[in-house]
Amino acid sequence: MINLSELTEQIKNVALQTGAFLKEERTRFRRERVEEKNSHDYVSYVDKEAERRIVSYLTQLLPQAGFIAEEGSGSLTDEEYCWLVDPLDGTTNFIHDTAPYCVSIALRNREELLIGVVYEVCRNELFWSWKGAPSFLNGKEIRVSGVDSLDSAFIALGFPYNSQLYKPMALHLVATLYGSVGGLRLQGAAAAELCYIAAGRFEARIEAALDPWDIAAGTLILQNAGGKVTDFRGGEEFITGKEVLATNGVLHGKLLEIVRFN
């Protein structure tokens, strides 16, 4: 039986160590060492080395677990436990020395998420939770906001790299929400932004074409802070990352009506 509280403490240390590496590398980072995975979708030696370190640490903590990690480290067959790792969520922000960017680590079994830890490097903010626990930011319990009006809602959007596929939805969201909500923002780091909803800074975030490692840790942190995450039809397919509506829970129904336009 895994002690989730104790394991979370160890994962927090992994996230903080990785964040320290990212901070140090940012001071000497050179953009000519960036690779383009797909159009406008970047990766650097920093992502790869950060992931290598995380996988090494986590393998020692739970040798029986598999991995789903952004840069392809580890392996996943039919293990009971699985780590979902994004070593540097917000790579484009990191490349341009712009906040936010973060380390995201989650653990799940075959049925559900068990642990979520997100370290937002730029603000030195460590978010965490585990199954059945509250959510925390730097040791203080956090909860979603109680905002129940779209007119007052602060909403984060995500515009994925596959612009041609997502452009109809992006244009629909901007046309529908711009001028009708309290504010719209593009932050560029899904894991951090889910935590921002959990902390009451945003009321919602909307994006598609993500991956499981982008949202796993932030999802558990948000859910345990009172929020809600679904796909654009209100279902559970959000776990694939292909459609993710994350909210404070109060506004979820209203925003589902908007994202179901097609």
Per the CB < 8 A criterion, the answer to whether 51 and 104 are in contact is: no
Distance CA 30, CA 163 (A): 27
**34, 72, 116 from 195: Cα distances, Å:** 27, 25, 10
Crossing angle (nearest 10°) for helices 212-224 and 190-198: 10
User: Shortest CA distance to 105 belongs to which of 93, 121, 87, 122?
Assistant: 87
Report the pLDDT value the prediction gives residue 100, as an integer from 0 to 100. Answer: 98
User: Shortest CA distance to 242 belongs to which of 198, 190, 186?
Assistant: 190
CA 114 remoteness from chain centre: 15
Report the pLDDT value the prediction gives residue 236, as an integer from 0 to 100. Answer: 92
What is the pTM (predicted TM-score) of this model?
0.94
Distance CA 148, CA 127 (A): 24
Residue corresponding to tokens 């509250």: 134
Per the CB < 8 A criterion, the answer to whether 34 and 44 are in contact is: yes
- Residue 232 has which token pair? 């654009």
Report the pLDDT value the prediction gives residue 163, as an integer from 0 to 100. Answer: 77
Phi-psi region of 139 (alpha: psi -120 to 50; beta: other; left: phi over 0): left
User: Shortest CA distance to 193 belongs to which of 58, 70, 260, 93?
Assistant: 93
Report the pLDDT value the prediction gives residue 73, as an integer from 0 to 100. Answer: 60
At a CB cut-off of 8 Å and minimum separation 6, what does 142 contact? 127, 134, 135, 136, 198, 199, 200, 225
For the chain, which ranges sit under pLDDT 50? 39-41
Report the pLDDT value the prediction gives residue 39, as an integer from 0 to 100. Answer: 46
Report the pLDDT value the prediction gives residue 106, as an integer from 0 to 100. Answer: 97
Other beta carbons within 10 angstroms of residue 234's beta carbon come to 15
- Residue 238 has which token pair? 């959000």
Crossing angle (nearest 10°) for helices 4-26 and 45-61: 160
Report the pLDDT value the prediction gives residue 43, as an integer from 0 to 100. Answer: 57
- Residue 70 has which token pair? 């952004």
Helix, strand, coil content of the chain in percent (nearest 5): 40, 25, 35
Residue corresponding to tokens 């978010």: 127
